[in-house]
Amino acid sequence: MAAGGAPMLPPESGAPHVLIIGGGGTGGALAHDLTLRGLRVTLVERGEITSGTTGRHHGLLHSGARYVTTDRAAAIECSAENKILRRICTGSFEENDGLFVAITDEDAAYEKRFLEACWECAVPARRIEREAALRMEPGLNPDLKFAIQVPDATMDAMRMPLRFFATARCNGADMRPFTEVVAVTMAGRTVGGVRVRDRASNREYEIGADIVVNAAGPWAGKVAALAGVSVPVAPSPGVMVAIRGRLCNMVVNRLHSPADGDIVLPQRQLTVVGTSSWLVDDPDDLETPPEQIEAIVRESGALVPAVAKAEIRAAWSAARPLIGGSGATTGSGAASGESATGTPAGHAGRELAREWRCFDHAADRTPTEGFMTVAGGKATTLRAMAEGTADAVCAKLGLVRPCSTNDVVLLRHTAWYSA
Amino acid sequence: MNVRLRISRFKAGDRKRHFENFEVEVEPGATVLDALLSIRRRLDPSLVVRHSCMHSSCGTCGVRVNGREVLACDTKLASLPAGKQIRVEPLRGQRPVSDLATDMVDFYARFESAGLPLVRTAEVHAVEPPDGIKSFGRFENCIECGLCLSACPISRWSRSYIGPAALAAAARVVAEPRNLGLGPVLALASEPDSVWRCRDAMQCTVVCPSAVDPAGALLDLRRHVAARGLKRLMRRGA
């Protein structure tokens, strides 16, 4: 019996073995999806589960509204996944909705385009007049003109994904934190598994697999290099700041095209504000520039003025795993063979698009068998990324196994800690 | 800024723990966690540390710094005695994984045995919620970091004591039962290994990074348990 009461194929002894590299939201959701499809799954993560980008994100469950005018496909996918996650992760969200607040005439002029785009992307949105908005969120800038209400929500950035890990493990997935991949084992151009170092014992050993999936997020490039392949993933850090005090209950956004410092949201008795965006080569080398902290706090103070006056409890950076976009960074033209594509290549906006992709490196110019990479995406789309990747894995293995993660309610995060 | 750390090390198979000294360059404003990650990155990739959110909201990076339970991500190096070596050890009362990482399984077992929810969503009534939402919800303050359990002198000697975090969760249920029955919670609180084992050291409240105030919650719970006991006695007398 699978966790959550789902029908599950028994993990057959002869089932193909998939090894996932990376214990972030994507890897966890993929492990869950593949175990439900009856595959044997091992997941390795060099640190604690969710210690990379997943745990550091601001905890916003996107309604999709943030991307309706800039990345329509991402908006549509967020809108769909928002509803699914509320269903399969009940209790993991503060379902308080979000407001897009118009402060300037320029913001106000953006309303029509924004509402139309919300309509086209199936993101429920409605206008809230100034007085009503201030009754919902007394901390808003009193100079606001009006606000748009959308079904954003907040989550615990670690505990929501942890439910995927807990459920997958309960269903038979072998989860190994503190286990770092030091080499990809190959016979010619065919991947046969990985060599790992268990950091808890400092012991090295090999794990064989039929398919290795690189789900290392912004580290995907480093992991791919171990197999001698390249992926167009650009680590793009953003700064976030946690302010002491819960200064709002809803997710507060600025009504304009996505920019720096235009999200304010509650996390228990903190308020998290963000974010910024730049590109780095090494996702381990993250700085948190003081001038960015200042700028973000100043900008978000335009939405919720108390933010600019309250004490800062912490400031940190997280590296997004952005896909290189249509002008990809590796190869030329169509970079690698894509076997599954989430959202089509986005426009060149403020940042690279929020799309995600699954690459089968057997379709690379120099083919590498048995090795796939899933990269890009957002915390809100972790389940969809897992579905697309698991589809690709099953197709590659010649299996017809439908996805059932839409309907399986996940175990509570505490199940991860049961002996 | 240059800092010196003395870190407790342990690998599976080791007979006992030992300390190892490190010296590392950090940015001004850096935290203990920044220093630990910098050591892992630049000096010793085998250093095992738990961490996730980097802003005191997930509760994974609890350690003891100079003997005091803290979140590593929330402890600025500049707040520690300047020029002195900083001693970093894992939390007490948890199974060791390696180095500074502990397995939180026993911490959660205390909640599970009590049948208590940990992080549930509470309600916020202060303001007018938007249409379609009955009242604003919010996660409760406890981040399940285990600092209170490590700091509690009773928990250290008695594995059967249910401990401050679970009792604080019980007090939350009593304060805001919503759809949970009070009977089992108060029965649990009345047991010998529960509220009456506490000797008011208050260390749980001192180290709590999230203002849960387990000691205060425990005092409230005692009042309820005492009132319940008194009611029973009176009924017997009548």
> In terms of domains, do B97 and B109 share one?
no
> In terms of domains, do B60 and B170 share one?
no
Q: The domain that contains A167 carries what CATH number?
A: 3.50.50.60
pLDDT for position A330: 25
Chain B positions touching A284 (Cβ under 8 A) are 41
State the amino acid at position A218 in one-letter form. P
Q: The domain that contains B119 carries what CATH number?
A: 1.10.1060.10
Cβ contact A51–B111 (<8 Å)? no
> In terms of domains, do B231 and B131 share one?
yes
pLDDT for position B127: 84
Among B54, B79, B102, B179, most A C-beta atoms within 10 A, so best to mutate, is B54
Cβ contact A48–B50 (<8 Å)? yes
> In terms of domains, do A143 and A280 share one?
yes
Tell me whether B43 touches chain A (CB under 8 Å): no
Q: How many CB atoms lie within 10 A of CB B146?
A: 25
Tell me whether B137 touches chain A (CB under 8 Å): yes
Beta bridge mates, A330: none
* Domain's final residue, options B40, B68, B102: B102
Q: Are A157 and A57 in contact (CB under 8 A)?
A: yes
The 10s digit of each residue's pLDDT in B178-199 is 777 788 888 888 888 889 999 9
> Mind giving me the DSSP string for A184-223?
EEEETTEEEEEEEEETTTTEEEEEE-SEEEE--GGGHHHH
Q: Are A275 and A260 in contact (CB under 8 A)?
A: yes
> In terms of domains, do B10 and B93 share one?
yes
- As a whole number, the mean pLDDT across chain B is 90
State the amino acid at position A141 in one-letter form. N
User: Would you mind telling me the total number of residues written for chain A in this entry?
Assistant: 419
The count of structural domains within chain A is 2
> In terms of domains, do B81 and B194 share one?
no
Q: Which domain holds residue B173?
A: 105-237
Cβ contact B119–A156 (<8 Å)? yes
Tell me whether B136 touches chain A (CB under 8 Å): yes
* Domain's final residue, options B102, B126, B153: B102
* Domain's final residue, options A292, A321, A350: A321
> In terms of domains, do B130 and B225 share one?
yes
Q: Are A74 and A353 in contact (CB under 8 A)?
A: yes
- Whether A83 is covered by a domain: the verdict is no
- Whether A71 is covered by a domain: the verdict is no
* Measured distance between the N- and C-terminal CA atoms of chain A, rounded to whole angstroms: 19
> In terms of domains, do A286 and A305 share one?
yes
> What gap in Å lies between CA A392 and CA A341, rounded to an integer?
10
> In terms of domains, do B120 and B74 share one?
no
> In terms of domains, do B128 and B218 share one?
yes
The 10s digit of each residue's pLDDT in A385-397 is 999 999 999 999 9
- Whether A184 is covered by a domain: the verdict is yes
Q: Which of A137, A159, A240 sits opposite B119 (nearest CB)?
A: A159
Structure tokens, B58: 């997930």
pLDDT for position A419: 66
- Whether A284 is covered by a domain: the verdict is yes
Q: Which residues contact A324 (CB under 8 A, 6 or more apart)?
A: A232, A233, A234, A330, A335, A352
> In terms of domains, do A141 and A250 share one?
yes
Cβ contact A266–B138 (<8 Å)? yes
Task: State the Cα torsion A397-A399-A403-A404 to the nearest 10°.
Answer: -120
> In terms of domains, do A403 and A259 share one?
no
Q: Count interface pairs A-B at CB distance under 8 A.
A: 158
pLDDT for position A12: 60
> What gap in Å lies between CA B155 and CA B91, rounded to an integer?
12
The count of structural domains within chain B is 2
> In terms of domains, do A332 and A218 share one?
yes
Q: The domain that contains A99 carries what CATH number?
A: 3.30.9.10
> What gap in Å lies between CA A23 and CA A217, rounded to an integer?
9
> In terms of domains, do A193 and A342 share one?
yes
Q: Which domain holds residue A28?
A: 1-59+156-232+324-419
Tell me the pLDDT band of B62, cut-offs 50, 70 and 90.
Answer: very high
> In terms of domains, do A195 and A297 share one?
no
- Whether A82 is covered by a domain: the verdict is no
Q: What share of chain A is helix, strand, coil (3-state, %, to 5)?
A: 30, 30, 40
Helix (H, G, I), strand (E, B) or coil at B205: helix
Task: Compute the Cα dihedral for A163, A169, A173, A178 and give only its sign.
Answer: positive
Q: Which of A149, A269, A418 sits opposite B105 (nearest CB)?
A: A418
> In terms of domains, do B202 and B184 share one?
yes
> In terms of domains, do A145 and A193 share one?
no
* Mean pLDDT, range B113-139, rounded to an integer: 76
Q: Which of A55, A178, A201 sits opposite B52 (nearest CB)?
A: A55
Structure tokens, A134: 């201030």
> In terms of domains, do B139 and B224 share one?
yes
> In terms of domains, do A303 and A347 share one?
no
Residue B125: what are its φ and ψ, rounded to 5°?
-105, -5
* Mean pLDDT, range B131-153, rounded to an integer: 91
pLDDT for position A14: 85
* pLDDT at residue B119 is higher than 90: no
Q: Are B63 and B88 in contact (CB under 8 A)?
A: yes
Question: How close does chain A come to B110, measured CA to CA in Å?
Answer: 11
> In terms of domains, do B124 and B216 share one?
yes
* Domain's final residue, options B102, B121, B143: B102
* Domain's final residue, options A273, A294, A321: A321
- Whether A75 is covered by a domain: the verdict is no
CA A317 to chain centre: 15
Q: Give the β-pairing of B2-9 and B18-25.
A: antiparallel
Q: Which residues contact B219 (CB under 8 A, 6 or more apart)?
A: none
CA A65 to chain centre: 16
Cβ contact A156–B118 (<8 Å)? no
Q: Give the β-pairing of A211-214 and A371-376.
A: parallel
Q: Are A239 and A292 in contact (CB under 8 A)?
A: yes
> What gap in Å lies between CA B53 and CA B153, rounded to an integer?
29
Query: Which regions in chain A score pLDDT beneath 50?
Result: 1-9, 325-352
Cβ contact B46–A242 (<8 Å)? no
Around A73, how many Cα atoms within 13 Å sit in the side-chain half-sphere? 14
Cβ contact B48–A246 (<8 Å)? no
Cβ contact A55–B54 (<8 Å)? yes
> In terms of domains, do A128 and A242 share one?
yes
pLDDT for position B175: 85
> In terms of domains, do B84 and B159 share one?
no
- Whether A40 is covered by a domain: the verdict is yes
Cβ contact A418–B97 (<8 Å)? no
Q: The domain that contains B20 carries what CATH number?
A: 3.10.20.30
Letter string b/e over residues A266-277, b meaning 16 or more CB atoms within 10 A of that residue's CB? bbbbbbbbbbbb
* Domain's final residue, options A321, A350, A372: A321
Among A178, A219, A239, A265, most B C-beta atoms within 10 A, so best to mutate, is A178
> In terms of domains, do A340 and A419 share one?
yes
Tell me whether B180 touches chain A (CB under 8 Å): no
